[in-house]
Amino acid sequence: MSYRTLNASDIIQVKSFAADTLLHLSPDGKHLAHGVINPKGRSASLPKTTKASPFLPNGALKRYYNGEIWVTDIRTGKSDKLSSDVGGNWAPQWSPDGRYVAFYSDRMGTPQLWVWDKSENKQRRISEKPISAIYGFEVPLWTSDGKHLITKLRPEGEDFFSDTSSGADGQAINIWETGSDEHVDAARKAQRPGHIHGDLAVFDFETGKTSIVTHGW
């Protein structure tokens, strides 16, 4: 057996688990879905926006621009990549029956909801609507019957960079307002950074039809 010393170029090409993302075990306990960061991955959008923004120009999280989804067989250790070679992919979640893995991907240019069929080894996009997931723990949720998926959508006309693009240091001003609950709620909503807003949506798994539960929260 031969050995060689790793140099800097070798180290920066090493794959790693995606940060702030959850590992998800299949219902039968036989397969593990997880996110991997591949330094050689190709982004569907420019990986650099502004200094302070955590997002790519298309609204996807910058830290997942070269993310991949893998499924590992717990018994054999064999791993298979589900995602494409272009774009970021993250937040895998098994369906209740263990046949599908739902995840987010921006391979088509915009972060959207996708599903992988384990039985047929095929992937399909559930909807063209852009999703809004600003943290790794925000994942697509299956209903117990496996017929619907729940996630956040990007509100129409929302500006992801209006409150996160400035790199300048400045003073923070806290504004306290008293009044009715309605006024307080409106004030709180207005003070939230634009990228936090989202429409809570329910997707029909088969048709992709979308129902909005709440707007702009």
* pLDDT string in tens for the chain (217-residue length): 677 776 766 666 677 677 777 789 999 999 999 988 877 766 656 555 455 677 777 777 777 778 899 999 999 999 999 877 778 889 999 999 999 999 999 988 889 999 999 999 999 999 999 998 777 678 999 999 999 999 999 887 665 544 433 333 444 444 444 555 555 455 445 444 555 678 999 999 999 999 999 887 7
pLDDT (0 to 100) of residue 179? 52
Residue in this structure with the two tokens 């979640």, named with its chain if needed: 93
Q: What is the pLDDT of residue 44?
A: 59
Return the structure tokens found at 210.
Answer: 């979308």
Q: What is the pLDDT of residue 36?
A: 87
CB < 8 Å & 24+ apart, contacts of 102-107? 102/126, 102/140, 102/142, 102/149, 103/33, 103/69, 103/140, 104/60, 104/131, 104/133, 104/140, 106/44, 106/45, 106/56, 106/58, 106/60, 107/44, 107/83
pLDDT recorded at residue 169: 41
Q: Which structural domains are found in the chain, ordered by start?
A: 14-161+177-214 (2.40.128)
- Record the pTM: 0.74
d(CA 102, CA 63): 19
